[in-house]
């Protein structure tokens, strides 16, 4: 960026800030930088990365630099120069899935909720936009700490429909909003394209509380139940994470005792339960498939909470070390949610070092540091498939397609949950892999792979998209991964953090 261009951008940044009535310190907190850095930006004395410009545009809701044609939405891509070994260490960020659940659960609290170390990702941004649109005060105290305070009365009619339809997490508002109004509408859920992902189990669970939901014309029409203090016990037809969370949040503001059977005991569910305990809700059975919840009709507590680290991001970073044959240390790995994955990897010949255990900021989750070591891998003896916790996590399954591509022999991977995700993993073939689609749920992966550079459009599913990016790290030459919005939905600054380990990745726009 030339000096003249930098000065022009600085003026636009200053104007956007003053239009908001913000100080330089407030903008610095939103951006996760210093006030002096903001001052240099506005004076045209600070080089601005494309990523920083995009973050400011997201915050201000306006264009800062017009790239790629007037009036057209700009699409971001990644350029990867692969074939480098990685080194160094990197921390695992907090869980995206836990963060989204906690944001939804903050609606239960009439006091203030401060979420520490919250992942600054697009999925979180969409939920923050939703909450703000209905009157919730959401204030970034710094780069990753968010203060949430709801008003006495929410304006559900003002909900940001566009933001709602860009995330499937909107369905998780049903539990906390159970009887907020006698009747209201909620936009249809969006998010990843993973085939038919029915909301039926959510509606089945919430009917146990008397909620009536009818779908028509792009919205769910909701009739709230009457308040009661009844005890209830029911079984979930699907042991889903978000289904369990919705049921838990509904139970949290019912004074009776609710017993939920076939509940998910996964990491994000545990974080939600720990948060609710901090609000004074009694939750028994955390980590098991039977939860007993004694709710409160009114919750008014000022609480700080730190969501635990993300086992899916941990698996992503471990995969980066494996596919590049590198020695890298991944710190703050939530080991209790990674034990099956590591056991399968050990059976394939993966070598690593593991530190002693320590405790996460939430006071509960067990963490370790994992150092990957260059390893000679062989194909898994049995098929690799996911199972509900404590089994191999369904979101970690796709990374085994990249890992199996580095192993000698053929590995069968069975993705029985999602209809389309296995198909997206065949895009690894464009980088030199040998992934054979057996049916919509099964692939056969033969290795080892001589990775080669390629230009690939990002598939519309988060984990397969991340897998392609990780494989590009191993492919000598320059690859391009185009339209990476889906990755930004689930990872905070993944490319920059890989760059700190020695990767060579840059953002660009057409």
Q: What is the CB-side half-sphere exposure of residue 9 using CA atoms within 13 A?
A: 26
Q: Angle, nearest 10°, between helix axes 24-31 and 3-20?
A: 100
* Average pLDDT taken over every residue of the chain: 90
Q: What is the CB-side half-sphere exposure of residue 84 using CA atoms within 13 A?
A: 16
List all residues 6 or more positions away from 407 whose beta carbon is below 8 Å from its beta carbon. 348, 349, 377, 378, 379, 380, 447, 448
The string of pLDDT tens digits covering residues 62-75 is 666 654 444 455 78
Specify the pLDDT at position 27.
83
Query: Residue for token digits 């009739």?
Result: 223
DSSP state of 169: G
Measured from the Cβ of residue 6, the count of other Cβ atoms closer than 10 Å reads 17
Start-to-end CA distance of the chain, whole Å, equals 16
Percent of the chain with pLDDT over 70: 92
Contact of 186 with 212, CB cutoff 8 Å: no
The string of pLDDT tens digits covering residues 387-436 is 999 999 999 999 999 999 999 999 999 999 887 789 999 999 999 999 99
The confidence band for 198, taking pLDDT boundaries of 50, 70 and 90, is low
Mean pLDDT of 457-462: 92
Q: Angle, nearest 10°, between helix axes 122-133 and 96-105?
A: 10
pLDDT higher than threshold 80 for residue 298: yes
Specify the pLDDT at position 192.
42
pLDDT higher than threshold 70 for residue 160: yes
458: left (phi > 0), else alpha (psi -120 to 50), else beta? beta
pLDDT higher than threshold 60 for residue 3: no
Specify the pLDDT at position 40.
76
Specify the pLDDT at position 443.
97
Mean pLDDT of 371-390: 96
pTM: 0.86
Mean pLDDT of 284-297: 97
Query: Residue for token digits 């550079």?
Result: 453
List all residues 6 or more positions away from 62 whose beta carbon is below 8 Å from its beta carbon. 16
Q: What angle do CA 384, 405, 80 make, to 5 degrees?
A: 125
The string of pLDDT tens digits covering residues 443-456 is 999 999 999 999 99
């Amino acid at each position: 960026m030339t000096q003249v261009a930098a000065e022009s951008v600085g003026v636009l940044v200053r104007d956007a800030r003053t239009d908001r009535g913000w100080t330089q310190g407030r903008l610095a907190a939103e951006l996760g930088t210093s006030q002096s850095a903001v001052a240099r930006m506005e004076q045209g004395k600070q080089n601005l990365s494309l990523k920083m410009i995009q973050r400011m545009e997201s915050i201000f809701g306006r264009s800062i630099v017009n790239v790629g044609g007037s009036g057209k939405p700009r699409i971001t891509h990644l350029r990867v120069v692969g074939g480098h070994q990685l080194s160094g260490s990197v921390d695992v960020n907090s869980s995206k899935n836990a963060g989204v659940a906690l944001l939804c659960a903050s609606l239960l609290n009439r006091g203030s909720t401060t979420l520490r170390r919250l992942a600054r990702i697009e999925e979180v941004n969409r939920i923050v936009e939703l909450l703000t649109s209905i009157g919730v005060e959401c204030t970034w105290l710094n780069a990753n700490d968010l203060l949430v305070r709801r008003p006495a009365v929410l304006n559900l009619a003002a909900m940001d429909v566009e933001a709602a339809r860009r995330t499937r997490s909107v369905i998780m508002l049903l539990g906390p909003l159970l009887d907020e109004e006698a009747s209201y509408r909620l936009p249809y859920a969006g998010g990843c394209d993973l085939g038919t992902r029915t909301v039926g189990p959510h509606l089945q669970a919430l009917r146990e509380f008397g909620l009536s939901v009818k779908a028509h014309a792009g919205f769910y029409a909701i009739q709230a139940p009457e308040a009661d203090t009844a005890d209830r016990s029911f079984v979930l037809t699907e042991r889903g994470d978000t289904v369990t969370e919705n049921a838990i949040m509904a139970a949290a503001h019912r004074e009776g005792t609710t017993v939920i059977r076939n509940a998910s005991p996964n990491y994000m569910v545990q974080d939600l339960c720990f948060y609710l305990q901090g609000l004074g809700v009694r939750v028994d059975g955390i980590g098991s498939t039977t939860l007993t919840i004694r709710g409160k009709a009114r919750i008014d507590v000022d609480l700080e909470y730190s969501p635990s680290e993300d086992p899916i991001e941990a698996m992503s970073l471990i995969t980066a070390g494996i596919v590049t044959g590198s020695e890298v240390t991944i710190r703050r790995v939530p080991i209790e949610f990674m034990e099956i994955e590591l056991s399968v990897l050990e059976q394939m010949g993966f070598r690593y070092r593991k530190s002693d255990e320590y405790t996460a900021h939430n006071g509960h989750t067990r963490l370790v540091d994992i150092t990957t070591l260059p390893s000679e891998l062989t194909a898994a003896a049995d098929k690799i498939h996911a199972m509900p916790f404590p089994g191999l996590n369904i979101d970690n399954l796709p990374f085994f397609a990249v890992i199996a591509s580095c192993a000698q022999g053929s590995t069968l991977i069975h993705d029985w949950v999602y209809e389309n995700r296995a198909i997206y993993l065949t895009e690894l073939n464009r980088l030199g892999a040998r992934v054979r689609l057996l049916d919509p749920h099964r692939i056969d992966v033969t290795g080892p792979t001589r990775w080669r550079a390629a230009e690939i459009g990002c598939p519309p599913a988060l984990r397969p998209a991340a897998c392609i990016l990780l494989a590009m790290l191993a492919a000598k030459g320059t690859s391009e991964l185009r339209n990476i919005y889906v990755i930004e939905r689930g990872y905070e600054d993944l490319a920059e953090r890989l760059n700190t380990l020695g990767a060579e990745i840059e953002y660009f726009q057409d």
